[in-house]
Structure 1
Amino acid sequence: MSEAGSAPTSGAHSGSGRAISATKGDILVSCQGLQKSFGDREVMKSIDFDMRAGDITVIIGRSGSGKSTLLRAIAGLTDPDDGRMVFDGEVVFEDQKRTPAWKQVDSHVGMIFQSYTLWPHMDVLKNLTLAPRKRLGMTEKDALGRAEKALAEVGMADHIHSKPVQLSGGERQRVAIARALMMQPKLLLCDEITSALDPPVAAEVLDVLRRLKEEEGIAVALVTHDMAFASKAADRVVFFHQGEIAVNTTPDEAFNHTEDPELKKFIEAVRF
């Protein structure tokens, strides 16, 4: 069971009924008893998972252990079969369905994939401004200003008019992060975003996430096999095994002092 699973949910509703936005250190995401099956295969088995605002949580484990399914459930890309989710004080999933509150908070959750998902026929600027203009009604001027700021934050300001095909894999991934920043998220969910990149480039992309956490207070949940990043930058390390959270602890405890045999085997396999 998750060590954080029993923590009280901060950022909950006040006595007046108005949701209180989570600040650094408060619980931003709380998942209770999440279950998900695909056919006969149970991918998530009553998952309890809390994540604090402003933290980097690295999620590790073997393929098919439930890591990506948890991210997709938090992002609203798949619904659990059962359980409850709270985001920033709002109940967004219970009774086997999304609640109306989900529409109020979903723009604060950004998800970034390994495949970048950039529109190839659009330049970087249009890739960044399309969603804010359509979903938020942002003016062209405001969208441009936000795009310039987002690209500067990820070190891509000089590529605002480039097409995706003109960019390297690492540059495309930085643009994908900038696009997620356009919606001013409180949480970034990253699913194996560096697995197709060379180690030095992957390290640069991960450093961008670390800086966003430190400078902007954005929480990050990252599925990765980069143990160096996890040991240096993560606030929590969560280890999935066969659809369950087997370990939820600090990086030092996970990598240097764990007694969990499956985590030990996984770390040894990834490191070597």
Structure 2
Amino acid sequence: MSENTTAHTGMHRDITAKSGDVLVSCRGLQKSFGDREVMKSIDFDMLAGDITVIIGRSGSGKSTLLRAIAGLTDPDAGTMTFDGEVVFEDAKRTPAWKQVDSHVGMIFQSYTLWPHMDVLKNLTLAPRKRLGMSESAALERAEQALAEVGMSDHIHSRPSELSGGERQRVAIARALMMRPKLLLCDEITSALDPPVAAEVLDVLRRLKEEEGIAVALVTHDMAFASKAADRVVFFHQGEIAVNATPDDAFNKTEDPELKKFIDAVRF
């Protein structure tokens, strides 16, 4: 799966998980890079239609978990299910992954838009080449996706003509081309000014409310986490130290490392 979009490499199947059902379940995920253990037996569940905000210091394992769920890196051990299908076990992807991978979209801080193409071509290239989508169908879907992120007026703009926040919205629209049930967002607002970042995060909140899309978001935006998240997950040294509601995580936690992290970020 390439950045900011999803690849479809097998028979697509409908997702049966409804809001509140377990969409993603990870058990005992481990990952090391050389001698550095980045994930230490991670157990993690995500519900359909939920926004999960993942926080923690750099190198604590947050982004590695997102990349593992997205199929961009394989853990060394553990199991993973998506909508009840086992998609990873015995240190490799199972055949079931090919049936569900198009339901997972990942968006990065760097946008990775093709600079020589306008917005429309950036959105329609992968669906037309990989899925054989017709030009008319791709255009219709692109118009819908851009409307969902408030970028309909920029369908023929080049990335260089857009602001950082607008480029990030286009990146979200490109992920939406495959109608994912899960969006994985890795620090997508860290390079944006706070008001622009708030607008991008509001797009994700509307997608959850209007489309039922689940979102897992690595961010340092504690305001968004406290207002929009259904769950807050705090990583510390390769482990999930806290998994709680925003109120419990930010106002009632007794975890000393989470307290120190929140104080540092708020400062």
Normalised TM-score (structure 2): 0.94
Aligned residues of 1:187 and 1:219 also touching (Cα < 8 A): yes
Matching residue within 220, 226, 233 for 2:221: 226
Percent of paired sites with the same residue:
90
Q: Which runs of 5+ in 2 are unaligned?
A: 1-12
Distance 1:138 1:104 in 2: 18
Matching residue within 63, 66, 72 for 2:58: 63
Partner of 2:100: 105
Partner of 1:201: 196
Map 1:125-144; keep pairs closer than 5 Å. 125-144=120-139
Letter in 2 for 1:45: K
Matching residue within 73, 77, 80 for 1:82: 77
Q: CA RMSD in A?
A: 1.0
Aligned residues of 1:36 and 1:45 also touching (Cα < 8 A): yes
Distance 1:134 1:109 in 2: 18
Distance 1:126 1:181 in 2: 14
Secondary structure in 2 matching 1:58: strand
Superposed CA deviations along residues 86-124 of structure 1, whole A, max 9, x for unmatched, are 011111000110001111111110000000011111100
Map 1:4-153; keep pairs closer than 5 Å. 21-153=16-148
Letter in 2 for 1:180: A
Normalised TM-score (structure 1): 0.93
Secondary structure in 1 matching 2:66: helix
Distance 2:233 2:53 in 1: 6
Partner of 1:238: 233
Partner of 2:263: 268
Distance 1:117 1:87 in 2: 26
Distance 1:172 1:235 in 2: 26
Partner of 2:6: none
Give the superposition deviation at 1:128: 0.3
Matching residue within 132, 151, 162 for 1:167: 162
Give the superposition deviation at 1:137: 1.5
Q: Which runs of 5+ in 1 are unaligned?
A: 1-17
Letter in 1 for 2:229: A
Give the superposition deviation at 1:135: 1.9
Query: Does residue 179 of structure 2 align to residue 187 of structure 1?
Result: no
Query: Does residue 233 of structure 2 align to residue 259 of structure 1?
Result: no
Distance 1:19 1:137 in 2: 19
CA distance 1:30–1:227, shift in 2 (3 Å): same
List 4+ stretches of structure 1 deviating above 4 A: none
Superposed CA deviations along residues 170-229 of structure 1, whole A, max 9, x for unmatched, are 000000000000000000000000000000000000000000000000000000000000
Give the superposition deviation at 1:19: 8.6
